[in-house]
Structure 1
Amino acid sequence: MKRRTAREKALQALFQMNISGIEVKEAIANVLEEEQNDSFLQQLVEGTIQHLPQIDAEIQKHLENWTLDRLAKVDITILRMGMYELLFNEDVPENVAINEAIEIAKIFGDDHSGKFINGILSKAKEENERKRSGEEEDDSPFD
């Protein structure tokens, strides 16, 4: 399965879980239908759920005058999955995680979703870059 397809199916599984409260295994089975399971799809869904409190806290930090519960269910699901890839999946370059989330938002979201998703994930990426550069300075033996 191509990674884009795995991301789309992961979005659908996470969305089902968010709306109906079904378990990971059932949600993945629903989106796979007759297809064979994919390790990347599994990783996206399970990783997003496993890190959900940290992911939601990170998203909330970058929302201006909004709360998570006011966001469209599709947008919050795309943001959660994108934030998971951005923060916890070192195999995916940050720009790829952001671009993939934007492209998926263009397919499943409304006319403004792509721009909104881009704004939140880009802010998170910039903050991560500042933290990394700050950590490198703190580790200097010349302090």
Structure 2
Amino acid sequence: MANRHLARSVVLQVLFERDAGGGKMTNEEAVQRLADYAKEFGARESDMPFMKNVLQTAIAKQREVDDVIVRAAPEWPLEKIAAIDRNVLRLGLSELLYADRTQVPAKVAINEAIELAKTFGSSSSGRFVNGVLGAVYIELGEPGKNEGSTRKKEATKSGKILTEHLAGAVVYAKNGDETYLAFVHDIFGHWTISKGKVGDKPEISDETIEEAAVREIKEEMGLDIMIREKLGENTYVANDSKVEGGKKKKHVTYFLAESPFSELKLKQTGGLDDAQWFPLAAVGDLNFYDDTLKIIIPAINLLAQRDRK
């Protein structure tokens, strides 16, 4: 058994025991049980930091992860899911959503969870876990799917994949002496930047990227914004069964935009469940995707520079 697979097996035992006890096991008790199980299973001492990190992430993010499970498997109430399957999903999703992908690629997190389900669950556990994690993986845009595929990378570079243009904005507002940022929250537990397609209807097919950003923020959060400056761009490949080849390239242009500090009115969509204002000091505590952070951090730096002037 591979060392990391064994390490995850140890973590799963602790999560299962904690779940069986109604979640009353403290973090300190969980770490102690982890050490006990690690010794019992013969896990390497050098894997203890990895196991501890996976365990503590799964515990800390359990509420968010459980919400994702409920949305990804709506026909299965959480309490009706077999205990092993439920905790395999918690472990797998905590890695899929929150682990450093340079250390734990998305496909590794999924495959490891499936193998755990097959090993410790019922004959149908592997298929069930695969279905739930696969649905979440697709919603995330299948991160890492094209890694190692020269042919697919070259196709993207040569423009053979349809490109869809999107526009979004990091929106800020002043409330007294404090600066606030507005973000939307997706069903996978991440805060992110409001964005949408450019010219996605015949009547607005000739709109500029800036006009699209203004329109999308109004539609998605109910805010009237003024574009201040461009922040950057991001490109990624996503699945789309409606286009030839099943994939398309999404190119997003982000702006820094100002708005009055007013009530946010979230447009109800299948992928978003909340929108909130946050003071600058609180933004660092939010859970963002890595590529989103690359846009948000420069925005915060720009706002900080303006406040100092």
- In the alignment, is residue 29 of structure 1 matched against residue 47 of structure 2? no
**TM-score under structure 1 length normalisation:** 0.87
> How many angstroms apart in 1 are the aligned matches of 2:39 and 2:130?
31
Where do 5+ consecutive residues of structure 2 fail to align?
143-163, 167-194, 196-233, 235-249, 256-309
> How many angstroms apart in 1 are the aligned matches of 2:36 and 2:122?
24
**TM-score under structure 2 length normalisation:** 0.42
> How many angstroms apart in 2 are the aligned matches of 1:50 and 1:120?
21
Give 2:93's match in structure 1, choosing from 80, 83, 106: 83
> How many angstroms apart in 2 are the aligned matches of 1:76 and 1:141?
38
- In the alignment, is residue 51 of structure 1 matched against residue 61 of structure 2? yes
> How many angstroms apart in 1 are the aligned matches of 2:94 and 2:69?
10
Residue identity (%): 32
Q: CA deviation at 1:65?
A: 1.4
Who is 2:217 aligned against?
none
Who is 2:125 aligned against?
113
| Structure with greater helix percent | 1
Q: CA deviation at 1:64?
A: 3.3
Who is 1:5 aligned against?
6
Count of equivalent residues = 141
1:16 and 1:27 in contact (8 A); partners too:
no
Who is 2:71 aligned against?
61
| Structure with greater strand percent | 2
Q: CA deviation at 1:141?
A: 5.4
1:86 and 1:97 in contact (8 A); partners too:
yes
Query: Could you give the per-residue CA deviations for residues 68-124 of structure 1, whole angstroms, max 9, x where no partner exists?
Result: 000010000000000001000022111111100011111000000000000000101
Who is 1:40 aligned against?
50
- In the alignment, is residue 101 of structure 1 matched against residue 101 of structure 2? no
Who is 2:239 aligned against?
none
1:15 and 1:74 in contact (8 A); partners too:
yes
Who is 1:17 aligned against?
18
Who is 2:288 aligned against?
none
Alpha-carbon spacing, 1:141–1:41, altered in 2? closer, same or farther (3 Å): closer
> How many angstroms apart in 2 are the aligned matches of 1:107 and 1:44?
19
Greater mean deviation of Cα atoms: 57-66 or 29-38 = 29-38
Greater mean deviation of Cα atoms: 32-41 or 5-14 = 32-41
AA partner of residue 45 (structure 1)? L
Greater mean deviation of Cα atoms: 85-94 or 17-26 = 17-26
Q: Which entry has the higher C-alpha Rg, 1 or 2?
A: 2
Q: CA deviation at 1:54?
A: 0.7
Greater mean deviation of Cα atoms: 25-34 or 13-22 = 25-34
2:118 and 2:125 in contact (8 A); partners too:
yes
Where do 5+ consecutive residues of structure 1 fail to align?
none
> How many angstroms apart in 2 are the aligned matches of 1:139 and 1:113?
38
